[in-house]
Structure 1
Amino acid sequence: MKLSEILDPTLLAADVDAGYITSRHHPDDQSLVIYNYTPAAQYDRHWTDATRLCRGLIVRLDGSGDADIVARPFAKFFNYGEHPDGSLNLSQWAVAYDKLDGSLGVIYPAPDGRPAVATRGSFTSDQAVHATTVLRERYSKVDTQAGWTDLVEIIYPSNRIVVDYGDMDDLVQIGMVNHATGHSTPSAWWSKYGMPAASRVAEGSLAEVLALPPREGKEGVVVHLADGTMVKIKQDDYVRLHRIVTGLNETTVWEALRTGTYWRLEREMPEEFRDWAWRIARPLLADHGLLVQGARQAHASAALAAPSKHYTERRTWRKEFARLANRSAYAPYIFAIEDGRDFYDMAWKAVRPKGPKPTGRTECAA
């Protein structure tokens, strides 16, 4: 199955060039590439055929400008609340499966000929390496099926996000996708090898599934609808707890902006919080930018108004410059600029939101 049969190569190239999709080569085989949408796609709601399909899509370049599909995971699907009102038929048949709280694993044939596990954007993330070891040591008899991709949830103690699975260290089947059609099914054909599968929680109309009572200690459900649509429904207590345990608050976002690590933070944070984080980051960036711009202009005005440095004794000039600078609300920044100190960090400290300090706990969502 060729990549061009399911995706316009021009659209893919455009989204890669625009920074909406990343492409990473396998370290042992440069022809093997994994595509994944970026946080920019999430922020801009740039959901094209390319960004939706590139959620851990693995291909093998064939040298002709096209590629063979090696693994095709679930396309990007959305939380129930992200669908416009009335866009989902509440009477259609729906099957809900337990939504597991780990990392997505994409099973693919590795360069050494054996099945391996990649995460959504990496062949070599910690989770991918751990999952491949589990797959090969515990489920060594399994093999990939031509034309299909098997997907698993990677769960082990040090990869815990919120839901506590105790000492569980395993791979859990969550579905399989047909390369040609993109049709997904929760079929658990690897069960014969002893691999667990996500449990079926309920079935009935979508309205009945939406009315499910909360389940203690669970993240939520993934709903497969009769028309092929997939929908995430996350329990309110999980979302609330997730924000707490991952330390996501206004101060976390501010600290990441201040230290230049925001883009690393957003790569690690759960998808459902990225829009929230950007709503915090955007005004902080704007306030900081305005403060820096105002400080530069105020410094320039004070420097121009003061007598020329070339014809004035340093102490006299400094006294006159200080008199002019102190008239400005930007006085501390003016002196910092004049003395060559870091007024950018001063500006960040000035816009620091009031709130708890970040915990530093983040989720790796490779």
Structure 2
Amino acid sequence: MFNKIQHINDVLPFISEKKEIRVQQQADGLTVVCYEAYDEQTFDTAAALECRGIVFDRTGALVSRPLHKFFNLGEFPAYSLEKLMARDDIACIFEKIDGSMVATAWVDDKLLWRSMKSFSSPVVSYTETFLAKSENQRLQQFAQLAASQGMTAVFELQHPDLPIVIPPDKVDLRLLHVRDNLSGEYLMLNPQHPVHDWIAEYAIPLAPRFDAWTLRMALDALPEMADSEGFVIQFQNGDMLKVKCPWYLRRHGASSVLRERDVAILALEQKLDDVKAALAQAGVDLTEVLATEARLHQQLRLLEQEVAALAAQGAGLDRKGFALKFRPHPLFSLAMAHFTGQKPQLTPWYGANRLKQDFGMRVVAEFPETASPDN
């Protein structure tokens, strides 16, 4: 299921033609490889599946390998309910916590915390503040032990200031999984691995797990669930599948119809996945939704090319000269960022300036409000 990865060169050849996967430079020479968008062909290799925030250091060595990319029930034909019910290789079922992923990285013999794409996001700051409290030192110690042994510990943070759909009433940090950086193995699936002893020794809180449940039991529980997101089904080869409960999906506020502008806005805000899950689990054809999403990302790529081309016209100029020449241009602020080596904020600019003219009010899907994902 998973490839051996030691160096960034074990990944780059498999994604070189995938514009939707970005190789992003961070501070201290760290490189994060993460998708910005995807379709059915994006994750067509084991290496591409790892591009969900995998991190390499300044030498190109792997330092953090969080959860691989996995999908919602019904999102693609390979993940249909019919195919799920035919499988007999389910390894575990655990609750899908509605929170923010945070994981470890081992850099220069030091433990660092990171979110999916950043080492300095609010998620990281809130995690570090939480772990600085004396009563939470055991989590920090466990994380350092795992990271120093060539593993990535992946947690879910819930924080009142970081609500997703379900507003938590307190800060909570729960372990989801521990991966071997080299092999990608999910070590908690191996009952003989010492990580289980470490979890017990440090009293690490886990995402609720349902070891005695069958798949049928999990699906039957979905319609009655509230104040919860759903389940993750994990298979013996390590692959996973998300199954959301009807209560959670309705909380995303999808109306009876979904217009192409709605799709574009949700995709721009990275909120479309759960709406697609609701539609897919209800048996709605996603063809037009996926086509609209793909068109949005094509527009963003074209904008990126426009900005790069404008910045290139300033070759040989200094900052002041560039500003004097191009300030009247509507893309000036983005081009100036590119010209000075910063990352242009393409997404908010596009949302504020072009999205409404590019995407109209044509209905692309009808949302069956009373449908249940386990039907």
C-alpha distance in 2 between matches for 1:75 and 1:135? 25
In the alignment, the residues of structure 2 paired with residue 122 and residue 169 of structure 1 have an alpha-carbon distance, to the nearest angstrom, of: 20
Q: Aligned in 2, Cα 1:61/1:173: closer, same or farther, shift over 3 Å?
A: same
- Describe how 1:162-311 pairs up with structure 2 within 5 A: 162-166=165-169, 168-186=170-188, 189-190=198-199, 192-213=201-222, 214-243=224-253, 250=258, 254=261, 265-269=267-271, 271-273=273-275, 279-280=288-289
Question: Which residue of structure 2 lines up, in the alignment, with residue 316 of structure 1?
Answer: none
1:315 maps to none
Closer, same or farther: CA 284–174 of 1 in aligned 2, 3 Å:
closer
* Alignment partners' CA distance in 2, 1:199 and 1:155: 14
Superposition deviation, residue 152 in structure 1 = 0.2
Q: Which amino acid aligns with 1:217?
A: D
Call closer, same or farther: CA 1:7–1:267 in 2, change over 3 Å. farther
Query: 2:191: which partner in 1?
Result: none
Q: Does 1:71 align with 2:69?
A: no
The 8 Å contact of residues 34 and 56 in structure 1, kept in 2 or not, is answered as yes
What's the Cα RMSD here? Answer: 4.0
Q: 1:14 to 1:53 in 2, by over 3 A?
A: closer
Are the aligned partners of 1:34 and 1:121 in contact in 2 as well (CA < 8 Å)? yes
3-state SS of the aligned residue for 2:212? strand
Secondary structure in structure 2 of the residue aligned to 1:228: coil
Choose which of 111, 123, 128 in structure 2 pairs with 1:127: 123
Residue aligning to 2:18:
18
Output one character per residue of 1:123-179: Cα deviation in whole Å (capped at 9) or x when no partner.
22221222233234433434142121100001100211122321x113211111112
Structure 2 match to 1:36: 34
Q: 1:285 to 1:128 in 2, by over 3 A?
A: closer
- Contact 1:254/1:284 (<8 A) preserved: no
| Equivalent residue letter for 2:248 | Y
Q: Which residue of 2 aligns with 1:103?
A: 100
Q: CA deviation at 1:34?
A: 1.6
Is the Cα contact below 8 Å between 1:254 and 1:352 reproduced in 2? yes
Distance across 2 between alignment mates of 1:19 and 1:43: 14
Structure 1: which 5+ runs fail to align?
287-343, 355-366
Q: Contact conserved, 1:73 with 1:106, CA < 8 A, in 2?
A: yes
Deviations along 1:45-83, whole A, 9 cap, x unmatched?
Answer: 544323211111111242xxxx32211112111223241
Distance 1:14 1:141 in 2: 36
Q: Which residue type is aligned with residue 105 of structure 2?
A: Y
- The corresponding residue for 1:92 is 89
Instruction: Map Cα deviations across residues 317-349 of structure 1 (whole Å, 9 max, x no partner).
Output: xxxxxxxxxxxxxxxxxxxxxxxxxxx98x949
User: In structure 2, which of residues 153, 157, 160 is the aligned counterpart of residue 157 of structure 1?
Assistant: 160
Task: Verify the 8 A CA contact 1:99 1:219 in the aligned structure 2.
Answer: yes
| TM-score, normalising length: structure 2 | 0.61
Question: Does structure 2 conserve the Cα–Cα contact (< 8 Å) formed by 1:20 and 1:51?
Answer: no
Structure 2's unaligned 5+ residue stretches are 189-194, 280-285, 296-352, 364-375
Q: State the 1:265 CA deviation.
A: 5.0
Question: Cα gap change, 1:88/1:69 in structure 2, threshold over 3 Å: closer, same or farther?
Answer: farther
The verdict on how the C-alpha distance between 1:353 and 1:162 changes in structure 2, with shifts beyond 3 A counting, is: same
Shift of 1:25: 2.8
Amino acid in the other structure paired with 1:232: K
Where 1:104 maps in the other structure, the secondary structure is strand
Post-superposition offset of 1:196? 2.1
Aligned to 1:141: 141
Q: What percent of counterpart residues are identical?
A: 20
Secondary structure at 1:162 match in 2:
coil
Query: How many residue pairs are counted as aligned between the two chains?
Result: 279
Whichever residue aligns with residue 75 of structure 1, its letter is H
Q: CA shift at 1:229, angstroms?
A: 2.7
How far apart, CA to CA, are the structure 2 residues paired with 1:87 and 1:42?
A: 20
